[in-house]
Amino acid sequence: MDDLGVDHAIVCPVRTRGYHLAASNEAIAEAVSASGGRLTGVARVDPLLGDDACAELERALEALGLRGLFLHPWEETFRIADGCVAPVVEVARQHRVPVIVAAGYPWLSEALQVGALARRFPDVTFIATNGLQLNISGLGQIDAELAIAENENLLIQTSGVYREDFIEGIARRFGAHRVLYASGYPIFDPRLEIRRVQWAAFAMPDEAAILGGNAAAVFALAEG
């Protein structure tokens, strides 16, 4: 972050070697606490655990002070539009926090699947990683645009996006407020990822919003 001039980051729990997302949530809370205000943490739960997932999210948001929900359908192996996801999103909705979805994974978090979830919760802000699509033919981009067009509450991150003109096009057609810079570290390289925004053809106010203003608004960072 210091090398690239990044002031603040949203940090998400990684998958642990065991199956202890609660411990990961606690590690995130500790990192946030030690960061001098530079990190905001979100909680990760496995919706397949049902009531236990809801309880863990409640604990993470209330006792640990985390500020959002992170769902990784690929690593926890659930379909993002499956019924099991709704209860944990409902908890997020009640706490008025955003939901980050690891998106673009085949069969589990494709663009229109994420869009279907977003449609069920119009008052929840969803943030999809990877521009909603991980396909190096660009085959997922039309569905990504449809999902964005159909759901005002669906935003995208820029991490790892194939084709920079996709990011530019989303900002141009749907508004720069729909796009958030993210590095996806450690999967992706922040030194490269930040260039996708800095070297794209954005007007200066849009670039500033994408690099930080939008995230500050979604995560209420000024209130943090």
Q: Kindly state whether residue 20 participates in binding other proteins, applying the rule CB under 8 A.
A: no
Binding letters toward other proteins, positions 90-129, x by CB under 8 A = ----------------x-----------------------
Q: Which is nearer to other proteins, 47 or 160 (CB)?
A: 160
State the Cα torsion 9-53-83-86 to the nearest 10°: -50
Q: Which of 35, 95, 135, 153 binds other proteins (CB under 8 A)?
A: 135
C-alpha span between 63 and 58 (Å, rounded):
8
C-alpha span between 197 and 116 (Å, rounded):
28
Q: Kindly state whether residue 162 participates in binding other proteins, applying the rule CB under 8 A.
A: yes
Q: Which of 42, 53, 71, 134 binds other proteins (CB under 8 A)?
A: 134
Backbone angles phi, psi at 158, to 5 degrees: -95, -5
Minimal distance, residue 136 CB to other proteins, in Å:
4
Binding letters toward other proteins, positions 173-192, x by CB under 8 A = ---------------xx-xx
Residue 104 CA to its chain's centroid (Å): 12
Minimal distance, residue 162 CB to other proteins, in Å:
5
C-alpha span between 219 and 179 (Å, rounded):
14
Residues that bind other proteins in the complex, under the rule CB under 8 A: 106, 134-139, 160, 162-166, 188-189, 191-192, 195-196, 199-200
